[in-house]
Structure 1
Amino acid sequence: MKQRLLVMNGQKLVQDEKAPGKWETIKVEKAGLLKPAIYNIYLSQQADKNAVHSGVVLHSDKESVYQQIGREFIQHRRLDFDKVPEVGSSITITYNAESGRAKVENSTQTQGRGIKR
Structure 2
Amino acid sequence: MSETDEREIKMIVAMVRPDKLGDVKKALAEVGAPSLTVTNVSGRGSQPAKKGQWRGEEYVVDLHQKVKIECVVADTPAGDVVEAIKEGAHTGEKGDGKVFVLPVEEAHQVRTGESGPDAV
TM-score, with normalisation over the residues of structure 1? Answer: 0.20
Q: Which has the higher helix share?
A: 2
Higher RCO (Cα < 8 Å, 6 or more apart): 2
TM-score, with normalisation over the residues of structure 2? Answer: 0.19
Q: Which has the larger radius of gyration?
A: 2
